[in-house]
Structure 1
Amino acid sequence: METKDPMSELLSSLEQMIVLTREGMPTALAQNDIMAMPESQRIREITGLQIDEFAQVLGVSVSSVKSWEAKRTKPSRSTQKLMQLSKSNPYLSRDLLN
């Protein structure tokens, strides 16, 4: 029997159901729309950060984030790991901005 982390399952479910808009108000999106988004964009929207804030937290340029979200390039392994940390704890990204 496989044991799953309840927090990870909860975050995954929330990610599929809601995406935060710029105003911080939840907006329901179809699951297909969410799954079609690049992972970096999904994580950025989960954290509620603007592109420039997300870039600052990750230590990359705004153009890098835009390139990931346009699916032109992919983030480095270390950046992907930092994004996964942000995904696990969306408040971490906000804390890193201060």
Structure 2
Amino acid sequence: METKDPISELLSSLEQIVLARDVVNVAPAVQAEPAVMPEPQQLREITGMELDEFARVMGVSISSVKSWEAKRTRPSGSAQKLMQLLHANPNLGRQLLEQ
């Protein structure tokens, strides 16, 4: 029996929830423009999270977040997807911290 990575499953589920919500909120004849993703620091500020909280939600170290914010490195594909979800629902970060 194959076990699945719980983080991947969570990201997939959250993405489906956000996408389903977006489909319901958009009129069928009108497609919304894709939102421009803010930089990690802007997203962190939008969500109201401190550096350590953002790192915990993203599942990375504080130094990784600092590196993203300094534009020395880029978030992984999974991290970028989670950031898209956080951008679509800024309260999601707080909900994940409460888990």
Normalised-by-shorter TM-score class: 0.5 to 0.7
Letter in 1 for 2:58: L
Letter in 2 for 1:97: L
Letter in 2 for 1:3: Q
User: Hey, what does 2:32 align to over in structure 1?
Assistant: 4
Tell me the CA shift for residue 3 of structure 1: 2.2
* Structure 1 Cα separation of the partners of residues 83 and 41 of structure 2: 10
Unaligned runs of 5+ in 1: 16-37
How far does the alpha carbon of each residue in 1:14-57 deviate from its partner, in whole angstroms, 9 at most, with x for none?
x9xxxxxxxxxxxxxxxxxxxxxx71111111100001000000
Tell me the CA shift for residue 2 of structure 1: 5.4
User: Hey, what does 2:67 align to over in structure 1?
Assistant: 67
* Structure 2 Cα separation of the partners of residues 2 and 67 of structure 1: 38
- TM-score with structure 2 length normalisation? 0.63
* Structure 1 Cα separation of the partners of residues 85 and 78 of structure 2: 11
Structure in which a larger fraction of residues adopt strand: 1
Q: May I ask how many residue pairs the two structures share in their alignment?
A: 70
* Structure 2 Cα separation of the partners of residues 62 and 82 of structure 1: 16
Aligned-partner SS, 1:86: helix
Tell me the CA shift for residue 83 of structure 1: 0.6
User: Hey, what does 1:35 align to over in structure 2?
Assistant: none
Aligned-partner SS, 2:83: helix
Letter in 1 for 2:96: L
* Structure 1 Cα separation of the partners of residues 75 and 48 of structure 2: 19
User: Hey, what does 1:90 align to over in structure 2?
Assistant: 90
Identity of aligned residues (%): 61
* Structure 2 Cα separation of the partners of residues 92 and 83 of structure 1: 10
* Structure 1 Cα separation of the partners of residues 91 and 62 of structure 2: 20
* Structure 1 Cα separation of the partners of residues 32 and 81 of structure 2: 20
